[in-house]
Amino acid sequence: MNMLLLLLLINVSQHALAVVVEVYAGERSVLLPCQFYSFIPEEPTVMWTRSDLNPKSVHLRRYEDDLRGQNQRYSGRTSMNPDALNSGNFSLTLRTPTKTDSSNYTCSISDGREELRLTDIQLQVKDQQVEVKVEEGSESVILPCKTKPDLPEDTSVEWTHSDQELTVTQVHSNNSDHLKQLDNLYCGRGKMNKDLLRTGDLSLTLKYPTQRDSGGYICTIYRDKDILRQKVELQVKEQFPSWAKAVLVLLVLLVLFVVSGGLLFYFRHYFMSAYQVEVDPGVESVQLPCKTTHCLPKDAIVEWKDGSMYDRKVHVYQNGSDQSNKQHEDYRGRTEMKRSLLKPGDLSLTLKHPTDEDTNTYTCTVYSKEGNILMKKDVVLIFRDYAEVKPEHSEVEYVELPCKTTLHLLEVAKVEWKERGNRKVHVYENGSDQPEEQHQDYKERTKMNEDLLRTGDLSLTLKYPTEEDYSIYTCTVYSVEGNILLKKQVKLKVRVCQVEVEEGAESVQLPFKTSQNLPGDAEVEWVHYNPKKTIHVYKNGSDQPGEQDQDYRDRTKMNEDLLRTGDLSLTLKTPKESDSGEYKCIVYGKIWRAKTVLLKVKGQTI
């Protein structure tokens, strides 16, 4: 027996160069490898020691663990395989390594008389990492990992993403052409150098980094018996911080008011090209881009919606097929979606025969089967020659929808302003306005400049705008032959009127002013929604208290002579907190008018 140990001793001492094991402080554990390939002696003792400590015992195994003499520092932090004495695998797991664990460790076996030193391990607990910053939308980013050149043939490298608990890639460099399939999330986005053994450059190139890729990456190199580690902290920054977007939107709006025509669109394009698709009226189709560099699960649900008040569904893809029954009828038969979900996803939507009514912000959202949002992107579709108007508040008396041209317009036969639903808002033909052609909703509410052909200013003044007027308006100019000389779009955004008052106030006014001289037989009704209650009714020339809800009896008042003055405001006396909610005034009859007022009555704080 002594003879055998002696032989082994000679054999092992030739390999006694310390094995280097590197690990990062903060990792869950590190494995100190130690393998014994010979016969296990009777009554064996396996020892892990650290000679610079007293007591020097890190872990001791007889028939079972015997930790009576263990150095306190390692208390509860070490373990060995239960069947170590049968398998010869004496590797030690050391949990929560810290910097002070950096040292030389020795694994040895003894039969009670002699001790055989099996492995020396030089453990290095590191805390210095490389930091890499990149902007989202960049072509690629390199996560550096370099070591000595001319690595042995059997070296292997592993890249792991520490935060996501998954292995990104494992490369056995003996066969570097055959990179193991990268983790699904990375969709083949990772790439390593071909010649990595010779150069020692094991850096990982990650294509199209996104914010989800941020986090700690560890490059582990298995070189001979050494286990070397390098950590890279990757930070992928948002391409465009949201505050900057907000500033840009303001800027663009400002520009909208100041500049017109080509310059305007140059600016918009310049600032917002990533989010905006511009199209000429009359094209066959337009593609709304939505791409992701991540692989999406097979059972992901893709939903394209429009930015209308009702979030109408433009296209739905689920269970591996298009769900045409779920899309809004306006889009039926007009959409087509690319869907290579498993390749880095291209979920772009083709919208056929787009018209100005399709001017909108479209949102492409990808949900997991469980309903979590995996990705969301906005695409703004606009037609060239487009402007946007947002009155500061909803109480403005009028708003101007811009339409200006430097064209020589003397030959013009007709200027037509239309609303998205194709209703005629204002028609100017043969030198004069044509009020009989306009839709009743706009009667007495529109005005165009005098001398418009000479000045080229075809802007429309729309009086008493309410949230009902939130829409897209098109200004079209026709020549005598009927050809379109000019077409411009204006989106009008009107906010819903909001009124705030404190409980205890004598009264509050829900304002609504519209055109004067409403028809004598018009009916005016103020209603409350959710739950629906009638607040005040005016018809046949007088108030109708019999039709109003109990709660509002004797609490409402409207102006005298309201049809003539067009002031349909409602005074609500002794407002209570429970009066808060959505109110709407509607005028019925030959003409139609409506306005919503959101009332908030703040309770008194005692």
List residues near ligand NAG by CB under 6 A.
31, 35, 81, 89, 91, 93, 153-154, 174
CB nearer ligand NAG, residue 34 or residue 425: 34
CB nearer ligand NAG, residue 91 or residue 169: 91
What is the Cα–Cα distance from 430 to 203, expressed in whole angstroms?
Answer: 74
CB nearer ligand NAG, residue 153 or residue 370: 153
Task: Compute the least distance from the CB of residue 23 to ligand NAG, in Å.
Answer: 14
Task: Compute the least distance from the CB of residue 53 to ligand NAG, in Å.
Answer: 23
- Could you tell me the two tokens for 383? 């037609």
Nearest to 119, CA basis, from 39, 14, 30, 220: 14
Query: Beta 432-433 vs 446-448: how paired, if at all?
Result: unpaired
Task: Compute the least distance from the CB of residue 187 to ligand NAG, in Å.
Answer: 28
Residue 137: how many CB atoms within 10 A of its CB? Answer: 15
Task: Compute the least distance from the CB of residue 227 to ligand NAG, in Å.
Answer: 12
> From residue 42, how far is each of 115, 284, 520 by CA, in Å?
13, 86, 115
Task: Compute the least distance from the CB of residue 33 to ligand NAG, in Å.
Answer: 7
Q: Under a CB-based contact definition with an 8 Å cutoff, are residues 192 and 157 in contact? A: yes
Query: Beta 523-529 vs 593-602: how paired, if at all?
Result: unpaired
Place of tokens 């939903």: 303
What is the Cα–Cα distance from 525 to 544, expressed in whole angstroms?
Answer: 10
Where are the strands (E) in 152-275, listed by range? 156-161, 166-172, 190-192, 204-207, 215-223, 226-237
Residue 515 has, within 13 A of its CA and on its CB side, a CA count of 19
Q: DSSP secondary structure string, 62-100? A: SSSB--TT--GGGTTTEEE-TTHHHH-B--EEEES--GG
Task: Compute the least distance from the CB of residue 118 to ligand NAG, in Å.
Answer: 13
What is the Cα–Cα distance from 91 to 102, expressed in whole angstroms?
Answer: 17
What is the Cα–Cα distance from 317 to 236, expressed in whole angstroms?
Answer: 30
Task: Compute the least distance from the CB of residue 89 to ligand NAG, in Å.
Answer: 4
What is the Cα–Cα distance from 334 to 460, expressed in whole angstroms?
Answer: 32
Burial group, residue 15, by CB count within 10 angstroms (0-12, 13-18, 19+) = exposed
Report the run of H or E that residue 476 belongs to, with start and end.
strand 471-479
Rg, Å, the chain Cα set: 38
CB nearer ligand NAG, residue 106 or residue 556: 106
Sign of the CA dihedral 324, 327, 330, 331? negative
Query: Beta 19-24 vs 115-126: how paired, if at all?
Result: parallel
Task: Compute the least distance from the CB of residue 62 to ligand NAG, in Å.
Answer: 18
CB nearer ligand NAG, residue 91 or residue 474: 91
Residue whose beta carbon is closest to ligand NAG? 154
Where are the strands (E) in 96-252, listed by range? 103-110, 115-126, 130-135, 140-143, 156-161, 166-172, 190-192, 204-207, 215-223, 226-237
CB nearer ligand NAG, residue 23 or residue 572: 23
Task: Compute the least distance from the CB of residue 221 to ligand NAG, in Å.
Answer: 15
Task: Compute the least distance from the CB of residue 107 to ligand NAG, in Å.
Answer: 12
- Could you tell me the two tokens for 45? 């003792």
Task: Compute the least distance from the CB of residue 300 to ligand NAG, in Å.
Answer: 36
CB nearer ligand NAG, residue 93 or residue 361: 93
Amino acid at 253: L
- Could you tell me the two tokens for 357? 């009514």
Q: Under a CB-based contact definition with an 8 Å cutoff, are residues 295 and 361 in contact? A: no
Report the run of H or E that residue 464 belongs to, with start and end.
none
CB nearer ligand NAG, residue 92 or residue 116: 92
CB nearer ligand NAG, residue 32 or residue 296: 32
CB nearer ligand NAG, residue 93 or residue 534: 93
What is the Cα–Cα distance from 230 to 237, expressed in whole angstroms?
Answer: 22
Q: Under a CB-based contact definition with an 8 Å cutoff, are residues 152 and 210 in contact? A: no
